[in-house]
Amino acid sequence: MVKNTPTITTYSTRGGSGKTLISVNLAYWFASKLGKKTVIVDADIEAPSLDRILLSKPTKKDFSPEHTWVHYLDGVTDIENILLETEYDNLYLIRSPPPEIGKRFLSNKRQEWWATALKRGIIAQQELLNKLGIDWIIIDNQSGISMNSVNHMALADNSLLVLRPANYGVDATFEFLREMISILQATVQTRQDFFVWNQVPQPQNNYEEKLLDKFLGEWDDFFIKMGVKPTIRIPYVHSVSIELLGKNAGIFSHIKEFYEGIELIAKKIIDSSNL
Ligand SMILES: Nc1ncnc2c1ncn2[C@@H]1O[C@H](COP(=O)(O)OP(=O)(O)OP(=O)(O)O)[C@@H](O)[C@H]1O
Ligand SMILES: [Mg+2]
C-alpha cells in the first residue's frame, strides 16, 4: 500500500477554533509518546504564537530574525538554519517572524511568488524527512482563506479541519471546502482529510444533548459525504482556557479530557494514512 507523507496541517476558516493548541499537543504527542522527531511549523505568518509556547527557555540555536519559515519560503535562508530545538525532547520548531514583518511580507506578493513558495515548501518537507531525520511535520496554519493557508493545506498529505460548533462558521467552511477538497484530493492520491469538533459545550440536560447531537450529526454527514473524515469531539475544557493565562502554557498532556482527544486524533490519522 502506498504511504502518504507524515505531514499534518491544521486549518479553519474562522479564528480561535483551537488550531494552535491542537497542533502543539499533537506534535508533543508524536514527540513524547511515540518518541518520533517532530517539527511544528508556525505558518500563522501574520499572527504567530508558537514562540510563546515552545521557546520560553533559551535554545542552543542562533536566534537570527532571518531564520524563519517566511524567510525560507522567500529563498533567503536554508532549512538547517530554521530548525530550532525546543525544551522538549524530540520536539522542534520552525518559527514565523514577528507579525509586523510577516504582514509586510504577505502584502506585496504576487501569484508567482506563492507558486514558488509551495515548491520550496515541498523541498523543505523532503529535506526535513530525508536529510534531517524528522519523522513528523505538523503545520499550524493561519485562519481563513488565503494563498498562505491554501498553500499549507496543499503541502500536507493529511489535513485536520478544526471546527467550533457555531452555525455561521461551519456554513462558511463547508462552502469553501466543497470547492477545495476534490481538487486537493485529486492531486495526491494518498491524501487524507479529517475534521475535529473542538470547544464542544457539555450538554446540561437531555434536550441540550439531543440538540447538540442533531446539529453536529447533520454536519458530520455533510463533511463525510465530501470526503472529510470525522475524528472526535473535544469538549470545552475550562482548565485549558484558564491555564493559557499563565506563563508556560500550551502543552496540556496533564489535562485528561483534552489530551485523550489529541491521542485519538493522532491514532486515527496514523491508522487511516497507513503511516
Ligand atoms: N478544547 C478547548 N477547551 C477550552 N478552551 C479551548 C479549547 N480549545 C481552544 N480553546 C481556547 O480557544 C482559544 C483559541 O485557541 P487557539 O489559539 O488554539 O485557536 P486558533 O485556531 O489557533 O486561533 P487563531 O485563529 O487566532 O490562530 C484559546 O485561547 C483557548 O482559550
Ligand atoms: Mg493559532
Mean pLDDT along residues 164-189: 87
Instruction: Answer yes or no: is the C-beta of 250 below 6 A from any ligand 1 atom.
Output: no
Which residue's CA lies nearest to atom 5 of ligand 1?
241
pLDDT, residue 63, reads 67
For residue 37, how far is its CA from the centre of ligand 2 (angstroms)?
22
Checking phi first, is residue 33 left (phi over 0); if not, alpha (psi -120 to 50) or beta?
alpha
Does the residue 2 lie in any domain? no
Residue 12 inside a domain? The answer is yes
Q: How much is the average pLDDT of 129-150?
A: 96
Asked whether residue 239 is domain-assigned, the answer is: yes
- Ligand 1 atom with the shortest distance to the CA of 21: 18
pLDDT at 57: 63
Q: What is the pLDDT of residue 169?
A: 80
Dist. CA 240 → ligand 1 center (Å): 9
The answer to whether the CB of 234 is under 6 A from ligand 1 is yes
Within a domain: residue 1? no
Mean pLDDT of all residues in 175-181: 88
- Position 58 pLDDT exceeds 60: no
**Residue 254 within a domain:** yes
| Whether pLDDT at 64 is above 70 | yes
Average pLDDT over residues 76-96: 95
pLDDT of residue 61: 54
> Is 241 inside a domain boundary?
yes
In a domain, residue 21? The reply is yes
Ligand 1 pocket check for 165: Cβ under 6 Å: no
**How many domains would you assign to the chain?**
1
User: Which CATH number belongs to the domain containing residue 189 in this structure?
Assistant: 3.40.50.300
155 Cβ below 6 A of ligand 1: no
Report the pLDDT value the prediction gives residue 156, as an integer from 0 to 100.
Answer: 95
Q: How many CB atoms lie within 10 A of CB 222?
A: 13
39 lines ligand 1 (CB under 6 A): no
Which domain covers residue 213, as residue numbers? Answer: 7-273
Instruction: State whether the beta carbon of 237 lies less than 6 angstroms from ligand 1.
Output: yes
59 pLDDT higher than 80: no
- Strands of the chain, DSSP E: 7-11, 38-42, 84-85, 91-94, 136-140, 158-163, 192-200, 229-235
Evaluate if residue 125 carries a pLDDT over 80. yes
Nearest CA to ligand 1 atom 14: 16
Q: What integer is the mean pLDDT of 76-93? A: 95
| CA atoms of 97 and 148, how far apart (whole Å) | 15
Q: Cα separation of 200 and 234, whole Å?
A: 6
Average confidence (pLDDT) over 13-18 = 93
CB–CB of 81/64 below 8 Å? yes
As a whole-number percent, the residues of the chain with pLDDT over 70 amount to 96
Atom of ligand 1 nearest to the CA of 200: 1
Q: Could you tell me if residue 228 is inside a domain?
A: yes
Average pLDDT, integer, range 143-168 = 93
Pick 37 or 61 by higher pLDDT: 37
20 lines ligand 1 (CB under 6 A): yes
Per-residue pLDDT tens over the stretch 225-241: 999 999 999 999 999 99
Give residue 2 CA to ligand 2 midpoint distance, Å. 32
Is 42 or 180 the better-scoring residue by pLDDT? 42
- Residue 160 and residue 4: Cα distance in Å, rounded? 15
User: Is the CB of 16 inside a 6 Å radius of any atom of ligand 1?
Assistant: yes
Distances in Å between the Cα of 81 and the Cα atoms of 71, 76, 117 are: 10, 11, 17
- The residue with greater pLDDT, 169 or 135, is 135
